[in-house]
């Protein structure tokens, strides 16, 4: 339902239940209309006072409470914002309490809040400087986490949480180039597959449900590390014990000869 504003005649929409009560398109129009109405009917203004807007000098009505507690009066929020941007910015602000200090690393001069000076031991001008300071202070034995290790229970919980996040899609993952090549080959051959297939010990790169095959695309660097090799062996054994057929292809083999990699999977041909 549409209705015209009593002050500016702008058409605005209302709900049917506000047909009789709605008179103005905004609070600004309502305030201006009331102040003009009070100017005409001086009998109603005996308890208050007329004052000028600090920004635009528009005459507005103020009740005794506002006259007592408010120093500066405005006809609208727009006028208040403009006035504050001129008279309440930087050093003019009554909350301004900054002091000049030098950065502990590079010696750059900067303005710092008194609260930060009181509660912070070290003051830095940027993240770069703060990182340099932290690295120098919290190295080796000075680091609060020095010598501490996760227990087996926490490691197990963290592993389960990461598997859940990966399977739900809440943890963003970027496909590697070998994964993209394998996926493209599967699409060309019209083979049904599931990416990032979660199981008890981790998440597999590809699972082919028709053949119960797991395909892992191993990077030449990371999966050649001793710790990573041990983890891969444990995962492969678990999958094979649970009736999965596991194929692990190196990154270099996928890039150079993807056709040869797929020929090794005899279950598909």
What are the domain boundaries of the chain?
A: 2-91, 95-124, 173-268
Q: How confident is the model at residue 139 (pLDDT cuts 50, 70, 90)?
A: confident
- Reply yes or no on whether the pLDDT at 152 is more than 90: no
- Reply yes or no on whether the pLDDT at 236 is more than 90: yes
Pick from 41, 42, 13: nearest CA to 26: 13
Contact of 208 with 193, CB cutoff 8 Å? yes
- Reply yes or no on whether the pLDDT at 42 is more than 80: no
Q: How confident is the model at residue 174 (pLDDT cuts 50, 70, 90)?
A: confident
Q: pLDDT at position 39, please?
A: 58
Strand (E) or helix (H) holding 98? strand 98-102
Q: Which of 43-57, 108-122, 253-267 has the highest mean pLDDT?
A: 253-267
What kind of fold does domain 173-268 have according to CATH? Endonuclease; Chain A (3.40.960)
Mean pLDDT (the chain, rounded): 85
Taking CA 199 as the corner, what is the angle to CA 196 and CA 203, rounded to the nearest 5 degrees? 35
Q: pLDDT at position 40, please?
A: 60
pLDDT above 90 covers a percentage of the chain that reads 25
Pick from 182, 185, 203, 205: nearest CA to 195: 205
- Across 19-24, average pLDDT: 86
Helix, strand, or coil (residue 196): strand
């Amino acid at each position: 339902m549409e209705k015209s504003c009593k002050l500016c005649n702008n058409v605005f929409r209302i709900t049917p239940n506000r047909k009789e009560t709605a008179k103005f398109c905004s609070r600004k129009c309502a305030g201006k209309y009331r102040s003009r109405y009070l100017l005409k009917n001086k009998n109603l203004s005996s308890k208050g006072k007329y004052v000028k807007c600090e920004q635009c000098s528009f005459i507005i009505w103020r009740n005794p409470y506002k006259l007592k507690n408010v120093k500066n009066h405005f006809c609208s929020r727009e006028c208040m914002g403009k006035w504050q941007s001129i008279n309440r910015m930087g050093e003019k602000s009554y909350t301004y309490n900054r002091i000049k200090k030098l950065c502990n690393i590079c010696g750059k001069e900067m303005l710092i809040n008194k609260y930060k000076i009181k509660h912070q031991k070290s003051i830095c001008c940027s993240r770069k400087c703060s990182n340099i300071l932290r690295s120098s202070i919290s190295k080796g034995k000075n680091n609060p986490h020095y010598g501490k290790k996760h227990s087996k229970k926490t490691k197990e919980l963290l592993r389960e949480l990461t598997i859940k996040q990966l399977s739900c899609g809440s943890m963003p993952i970027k496909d590697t180039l070998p994964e993209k090549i394998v996926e493209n080959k599967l699409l060309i051959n019209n083979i049904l597959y599931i990416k990032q297939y979660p199981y008890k010990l981790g998440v597999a790169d590809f699972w082919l449900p028709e053949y119960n095959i797991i395909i892992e695309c191993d990077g030449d660097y990371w999966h050649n590390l001793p710790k990573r090799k041990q983890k891969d062996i444990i995962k492969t054994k678990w999958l094979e014990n649970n009736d999965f057929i596991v194929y692990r292809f190196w990154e270099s083999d996928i890039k150079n000869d993807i056709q040869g990699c797929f020929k090794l999977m005899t279950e598909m041909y």
